[in-house]
C-alpha cells in the first residue's frame, strides 16, 4: 500500500486483503441476483451468530442509506427523531433524513457526543397533540462522532426511557466494531441485549470495500423494509459481492482485529502528543480517533504532511483518525512532525 496515508478518516483506507479475497472467491459463475444467493444466506447466518438468532439483517451500499432507510421504515412523516447535534444524521447527510422520512430532527447539544435522559426529556412533549411533531425515535451513534462510547448501562437507560415513552431506539453503528473493542464486550451486549431496536451496522470503515447493513432486533419492525430498500434505490443486484465481504468480515475475528488495531493506533497517537503544551485533547480517546485543539496557524502546515479534517473551525479542533491499516511507523512519523511543528 502507498505511503501517503493520512489521518482524515478510516474511509480513506484501502480494503483488507481478506476482503478482496472474498470478493474474488465470489466471482465464480452466476448467482441469483438481489440477494437470493448462497453468499447472502451465509452472511446473514454470521449476523445471527453475532447479534442473535432473532435478528433480521439487510444489506445496503452505504451508511447514509442504512440510517435513512432504517429510520424511514420505523417512522411516519408526522414524527420527530431526537439525536445529538453532532450526529452524522444531522451534520453529514445533507438533510436526507428530513427529505426521506419527512420527520423533524430534534438536535441536542452535547459535550461528548452522548445523549442522556435529562437532555432528551424536555423534548418529549405534545404527545397526542395534532399541532406537534410526535417524538418516535431516539437515535444514538456508537461510538459517537466524537470517538466516545456509551456503556451498556447508559444505552439500557436510554432504551428503557424510550420504550416507556412509546418510542424506539436507533443506533448508528457505522463504527460499532470500534466500540465493541473499546468496551471489551460482544456485539449483542451493546445492541439488542440492551434494548436497541434497529441498528445501522458498518463494514466500510473497518476494512470492507463497501457495504453497510440495517439490523432489526424486532421482526415486527422489519416487515416492510424490503420495499423501503428498493424504493430507496439500495437493493444491490449483485448482492453477493456485499454479502461475501460481510461473511469474511464477521469470520475469523477480522472485524475485531481490524478495530482493535485502529483503536490501539489512536491510543498511541494520543500518548505521543498529549503532553505537547499547545495541544488540548478534550475528548476521551476511547476508539480510533483523537480530537485535538491546536493553534490555527499549524493546521495547514500539518495537513500538507498528513491530511486530516478540521472538526470545528471555531474552536480549531481537528480530528485525527486511525484505520485498520495505520501502522506504528505512521504514528511515530506524524507525532514527530506534530511536535516539531507545534512549538
Ligand atoms: C457515524 C457515521 N454514520 C454514518 C456514516 C455514513 O457513511 P456513508 O458515507 O457510507 O454514507 C458515517 C460516515 O462517515 C459516519 O461517520
pLDDT of residue 3: 60
Q: 95 falls in which pLDDT band (50, 70, 90)? A: very high
Tell me the mean pLDDT in the region 187-194: 98
Record the cell numbers describing residue 186, joined without a space: 460482544
Are residues 170 and 301 part of one domain?
no
Nearest CA to ligand 1 atom 9: 63
Q: Say if residues 135 and 123 touch (Cβ distance below 8 Å).
A: yes
Residue 342 alpha carbon to ligand 1 centre in Å = 31
pLDDT above 90 covers what percent of the chain?
98
Residue 148 alpha carbon to ligand 1 centre in Å = 16
Tell me the mean pLDDT in the region 243-262: 98
CA distance 81 to 103: 7
Record the cell numbers describing residue 229, joined without a space: 430498500
Are residues 318 and 245 part of one domain?
no
Are residues 184 and 35 part of one domain?
yes
Select from 227, 249, 271 the last residue of a domain.
249
Residue 64 alpha carbon to ligand 1 centre in Å = 6
Select from 221, 249, 277 the last residue of a domain.
249
Instruction: Give the mutation target among 12, 59, 63 for probing the ligand 1 site: most ligand atoms within 8 A of CB.
Output: 63
CB atoms within 10 A of CB 117: 14
Are residues 119 and 172 part of one domain?
yes
Tell me the mean pLDDT in the region 113-122: 98
In ligand 1, the atom with minimum distance to the C-alpha of 67 is 4
Tell me the mean pLDDT in the region 3-14: 90
Does residue 330 line the site of ligand 1, with CB under 6 A?
no
Instruction: Give the mutation target among 12, 83, 88, 170 for probing the ligand 1 site: most ligand atoms within 8 A of CB.
Output: 88
Tell me the mean pLDDT in the region 54-66: 98
Does residue 62 line the site of ligand 1, with CB under 6 A?
yes
pLDDT of residue 2: 44
CA distance 246 to 285: 27
Nearest CA to ligand 1 atom 4: 63
Residue 225 maps to a domain: yes
Are residues 159 and 56 part of one domain?
yes
pLDDT at residue 114 greater than cutoff 70? yes
* Residues 6+ positions from 4 with CB-CB distance below 8 Å: none
CA distance 140 to 127: 21
Does residue 104 line the site of ligand 1, with CB under 6 A?
no
Q: What average pLDDT does the chain have?
A: 97
In ligand 1, the atom with minimum distance to the C-alpha of 61 is 10
Supply the range of the domain harboring residue 262.
254-341
Residue 150 maps to a domain: yes
Structure confidence by residue, pLDDT tens digits, 118-127: 999 999 999 9
Residue 16 alpha carbon to ligand 1 centre in Å = 19
Residue 86 alpha carbon to ligand 1 centre in Å = 12
E runs forming strands in 61-211: 79-84, 104-108, 134-141, 168-173, 198-202
pLDDT of residue 343: 82
Does residue 63 line the site of ligand 1, with CB under 6 A?
yes
pLDDT of residue 4: 75
Record the cell numbers describing residue 158, joined without a space: 436510554
Residue 17 alpha carbon to ligand 1 centre in Å = 22
Of 235, 160, 162, 169, residue with least CA distance to 198: 169
Residue 42 maps to a domain: yes
pLDDT of residue 1: 40
As separate numbers, helices (DSSP H) first and strands (DSSP E) second, the chain gives 13, 10
Domain count within the chain: 2
Amino acid at each position: 500500500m502507498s505511503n501517503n496515508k493520512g489521518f482524515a478518516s478510516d474511509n480513506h483506507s484501502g480494503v483488507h486483503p481478506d476482503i478482496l479475497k472474498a470478493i474474488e472467491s465470489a466471482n465464480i459463475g452466476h448467482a441469483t441476483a438481489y440477494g437470493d444467493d448462497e453468499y447472502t444466506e451465509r452472511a446473514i447466518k454470521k449476523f445471527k451468530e453475532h447479534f442473535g438468532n432473532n435478528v433480521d439483517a439487510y444489506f445496503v451500499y452505504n451508511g447514509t442509506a442504512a440510517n435513512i432507510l432504517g429510520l424511514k421504515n420505523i417512522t411516519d412523516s408526522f414524527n420527530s427523531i431526537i439525536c445529538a447535534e453532532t450526529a452524522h444524521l444531522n451534520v453529514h447527510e445533507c438533510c436526507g433524513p428530513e427529505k426521506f422520512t419527512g420527520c423533524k430532527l430534534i438536535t441536542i447539544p452535547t459535550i461528548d457526543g452522548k445523549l442522556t435522559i435529562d437532555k432528551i426529556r424536555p423534548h418529549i412533549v405534545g404527545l397526542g397533540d395534532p399541532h406537534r411533531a410526535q417524538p418516535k425515535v431516539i437515535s444514538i451513534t456508537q461510538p459517537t462522532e466524537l470517538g466516545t462510547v456509551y456503556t451498556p448501562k447508559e444505552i439500557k437507560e436510554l432504551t428503557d426511557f424510550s420504550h416507556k415513552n412509546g418510542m424506539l431506539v436507533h443506533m448508528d453503528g457505522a463504527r460499532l466494531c470500534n466500540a465493541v473493542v473499546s468496551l471489551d464486550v460482544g456485539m449483542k451486549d451493546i445492541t439488542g441485549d440492551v434494548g436497541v431496536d434497529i441498528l445501522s451496522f458498518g463494514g466500510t470503515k473497518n476494512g470492507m470495500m463497501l457495504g453497510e447493513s440495517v439490523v432489526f432486533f424486532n421482526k415486527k419492525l422489519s416487515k416492510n423494509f424490503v420495499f423501503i430498500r428498493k424504493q430507496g434505490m439500495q437493493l444491490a443486484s449483485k448482492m453477493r459481492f456485499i454479502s461475501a465481504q460481510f461473511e469474511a468480515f464477521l469470520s475469523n475475528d477480522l472485524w475485531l482485529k481490524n478495530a482493535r488495531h485502529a483503536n490501539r493506533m489512536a491510543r498511541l497517537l494520543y500518548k505521543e502528543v498529549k503532553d505537547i503544551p499547545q495541544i488540548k485533547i478534550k475528548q476521551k480517546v476511547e476508539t480510533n480517533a483523537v480530537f485535538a485543539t491546536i493553534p490555527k496557524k499549524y493546521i495547514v502546515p500539518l495537513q500538507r504532511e498528513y491530511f486530516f479534517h478540521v472538526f470545528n473551525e471555531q474552536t480549531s479542533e481537528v480530528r485525527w483518525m486511525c484505520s485498520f491499516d495505520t501502522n506504528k511507523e505512521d504514528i511515530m512519523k506524524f507525532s514527530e512532525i506534530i511536535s516539531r511543528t507545534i512549538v
